[in-house]
């Protein structure tokens, strides 16, 4: 395992291996948007149970974020990522063999835990190996590459379901994940950053410094609510909405989700390029994030209200802007020492994925409460109530972000 010196070597030995791991993370996260009707058909799972099975991925993912940040800063991304992906492989095997809600939930929970370091481990490695001024661009490209996993979880997954079944697919994913884990251990180098003053700080002191930072609470709430809600919809509820409200057939839903994920990938990379370009005009990634969130609220409102159920453009615009909250990671990194990189990123990720868990489970719970006994074909009123709750929270957090940004400039 040699130490990469040139940019090309860093891309080959650092960027690409972590990108493959993140690809799998996204693939796992997004499969149930397509698999939902098959799980319902095979096991009779209703909306609340589907929400629980799918969202537990986010819960275990979120709960491991704080220890993950500590482990990343102490042991490095290579070792931590290898162990976690092995856990994900085990979870995928359990999910493939599951026959009831409990077994599927345990499998998804282990998958969530196992891929919980896919993003933050990469952020840690990228922040150490590449120049700071290139972080926004590199992170956006990384997110775009990883988001191709969501693309694979749309039309390609639906086509695969015509050849085999969801159990075989998850068994194959289990094997692939194990291979990727071992590859990362053998390929990725380690690079230790040590600062006596920083390393002497206690864990609680560092976390207190992060969580009491004005910058953190200006950026994190809006970045997290947008990121968490977007993951909730893209990973599960977009599919049922398109079927129940839009009236699209299953293959049409898969094709729309395919377009959704392609546009999402384009949006992620474009925002990275734009944020890198506008630096010369003294605009930060946080400023770009603010404009993108404003654009996101418009299509999400149209989708929530069901104003144009057959129109595809609201979903396209939503997908283009859906992961703009990730720019908050790059923006926050400038406010803390380099050795805090893992803990800063995971502090934001903790809240983001808790919101993803809450929103994904709550949407199913609200729908089941409003229409008890149903397992499919939910009404537009159920989607309006469940989606509307999180749309209102996004608007409230966005207003808070604007006001705090104005106050910060006056200081």
Measuring CA to CA, how many Å separate 398 from each of 260, 291, 334? 24, 10, 21
Higher pLDDT among residues 180 and 66, named by residue: 180
Kindly state the average pLDDT of the residues 400-407: 89
CA atoms 391, 30, 18, 72: torsion sign: positive
Helix orientation angle between 118-129 and 16-30, rounded to the nearest 10 degrees: 160
Please enumerate, as own/partner, the contacts of 333-336 that have beta carbons within 8 Å and a separation of 24 or more.
333/127, 333/132, 333/135, 334/132, 335/213, 335/215, 335/216, 336/209, 336/210, 336/213
Among 166-175, 282-291, 324-333, where is mean pLDDT lowest?
324-333
Closest to 26 in 3D by CA, of 121, 158, 146: 146
* pLDDT tens digits, one per residue of 56-104: 998 998 888 878 877 887 788 889 999 999 999 999 999 999 998 999 9
Token output for 92: 């995928």
So what's the pLDDT on residue 103?
Answer: 94
User: In the predicted model, is pLDDT for residue 123 greater than 80?
Assistant: no
Name every residue whose Cβ is closer than 8 Å to that of residue 169 and which is 6 or more positions away in sequence: 31, 96, 157, 160, 161
- Confidence grade of residue 25 (pLDDT, cut at 50, 70, 90): very high
User: In the predicted model, is pLDDT for residue 394 greater than 90?
Assistant: yes
The domain locations on the chain are: 7-184+201-410
- Confidence grade of residue 295 (pLDDT, cut at 50, 70, 90): very high
Kindly state the average pLDDT of the residues 34-49: 86
CATH number for the 7-184+201-410 domain, one of 3.40.190.10, 1.20.1250.20, 3.40.50.720, 3.10.20.30?
Answer: 1.20.1250.20
So what's the pLDDT on residue 133?
Answer: 66
- Confidence grade of residue 144 (pLDDT, cut at 50, 70, 90): confident
The rounded distance, in Å, linking the Cα atoms of 22 and 19 is 5
**Which residue carries 């397509």 as its tokens?**
34
By CB atoms closer than 10 A (0-12, 13-18, 19+), residue 374 is middle
Among 160-174, 288-302, 320-334, 356-370, where is mean pLDDT lowest?
320-334
DSSP 323-392: TGGGHHHHHHHTTS-GGGHHHHHHHHHHHHHHHHHHHHHHHHHHHHHHSTT-SS---HHHHHHHHHHHHH
Kindly state the average pLDDT of the residues 344-366: 87
- pTM of the predicted model as reported, rounded to 2 decimal places: 0.79
Contact 53, 32 (CB under 8 A): yes
Closest to 29 in 3D by CA, of 182, 141, 154: 154
So what's the pLDDT on residue 136?
Answer: 66
Higher pLDDT among residues 185 and 127, named by residue: 185
Average pLDDT over all residues of the chain: 86
- Confidence grade of residue 411 (pLDDT, cut at 50, 70, 90): low
So what's the pLDDT on residue 198?
Answer: 44
């Amino acid at each position: 395992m040699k130490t990469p010196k040139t940019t090309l070597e860093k891309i080959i030995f650092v960027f690409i291996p972590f990108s493959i791991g993140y690809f799998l993370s996204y693939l796992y996260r997004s499969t149930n948007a397509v698999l939902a009707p098959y799980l319902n058909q095979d096991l009779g799972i209703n909306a609340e149970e589907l929400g629980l099975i799918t969202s537990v991925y986010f819960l275990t993912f979120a709960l491991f974020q704080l220890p993950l940040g500590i482990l990343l800063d102490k042991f490095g991304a290579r070792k931590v990522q290898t162990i976690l992906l092995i856990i994900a492989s085990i979870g995928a095997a359990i999910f493939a063999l599951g026959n009831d809600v409990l077994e599927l939930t345990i499998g998804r929970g282990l998958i969530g835990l196992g891929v919980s370091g896919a993003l933050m481990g990469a952020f840690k490695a990228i922040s150490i190996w590449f120049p700071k001024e290139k972080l926004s661009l590199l992170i956006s490209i990384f997110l775009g590459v990883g988001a191709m996993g969501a693309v694979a979880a749309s039309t390609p997954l639906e086509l695969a379901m015509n050849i085999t079944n969801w159990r075989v697919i998850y068994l194959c994913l289990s094997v692939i994940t194990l291979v990727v884990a071992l590859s990362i251990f053998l390929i990725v180098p380690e690079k230790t950053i040590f600062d006596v003053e920083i390393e002497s700080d206690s864990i609680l002191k560092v976390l207190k410094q992060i969580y009491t930072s004005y910058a953190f609470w200006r950026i994190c709430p809006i970045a997290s609510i947008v990121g968490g809600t977007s993951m909730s919809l893209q990973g599960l509820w977009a599919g049922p909405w398109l079927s129940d409200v839009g009236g699209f057939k299953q293959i049409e839903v898969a094709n729309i989700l395919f377009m959704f994920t392609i546009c999402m990938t384009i949006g992620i990379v474009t925002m990275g390029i734009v944020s890198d370009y506008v630096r010369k005009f003294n605009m930060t990634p946080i400023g770009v994030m603010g404009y993108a969130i404003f654009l996101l609220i418009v299509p999400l409102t149209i989708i929530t209200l069901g104003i144009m159920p057959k129109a595809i453009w609201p979903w396209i615009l939503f997908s283009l802007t859906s992961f703009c909250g990730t720019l908050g990671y790059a923006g926050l990194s400038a406010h803390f020492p380099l050795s805090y990189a893992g803990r800063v990123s995971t502090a934001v990720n903790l809240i983001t994925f808790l919101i993803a868990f809450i929103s994904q489970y709550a949407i199913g719970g609200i729908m089941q409460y409003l229409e008890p006994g149903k397992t499919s074909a939910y009404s537009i009123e159920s989607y309006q109530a469940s989606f509307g709750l999180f749309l209102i929270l996004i608007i409230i957090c966005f207003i808070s972000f604007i006001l705090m940004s104005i106050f910060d400039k006056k200081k």
